[in-house]
Amino acid sequence: MKLVCLSCGQANRVPEQKLTAGPKCGACGDHLVRPEPQDVSLDVLQKAIRIDELPMVVDFWAEWCGPCRMMAPEFAEASRKLQGKARFAKLDTEAYPQAGTRYGIRGIPLLITFNAGRELKRKAGVMRSADIVDWVGATASA
């Protein structure tokens, strides 16, 4: 399975059975599949969306956004529950304002699930952990 390191952007191959065993990037040594969401830059996110063979759930958020801060622990809990079935990333829309145009963001928090180079689904607004797991679940188990 191909996965892009969300820290350095290097593409890696990981045997599917090792996704829950803490695989690390061959270039920088950082974990490829984490139990918690990882902050990501726009360029690395775009590369991961194109290359990754594991669903990626991205939380588009901003520090000033109250609902985004409310949902952050729920998103982290969903990430722990789905570790090895999907990767969870966070992109700060204040740091990367061009993401708004690129992904058609009209409100935050916004979750978008990507897989195999395409957007599968999106949902705006605050969600609880169980709802995120259910929302992602069908995609992650497919």
Task: Check 5, 8, 25, 65 and give the catalytic one.
Answer: 65
Cα–Cα distance between 69 and 71 in angstroms, integer? 5
5 annotated active-site: no
Q: Name the region of 29 (left: φ>0; alpha: ψ -120 to 50; beta: rest).
A: left
Cα–Cα distance between 62 and 83 in angstroms, integer? 24
30, 4 contact by CB (below 8 A): no
41, 93 contact by CB (below 8 A): no
Half-sphere CA count of 31, side-chain side, radius 13 A: 16
Cis peptide before 37 (omega within 30 of 0): no
Task: Check 8, 25, 28, 68 and give the catalytic one.
Answer: 68
Catalytic residue numbers, as ranges: 65, 68
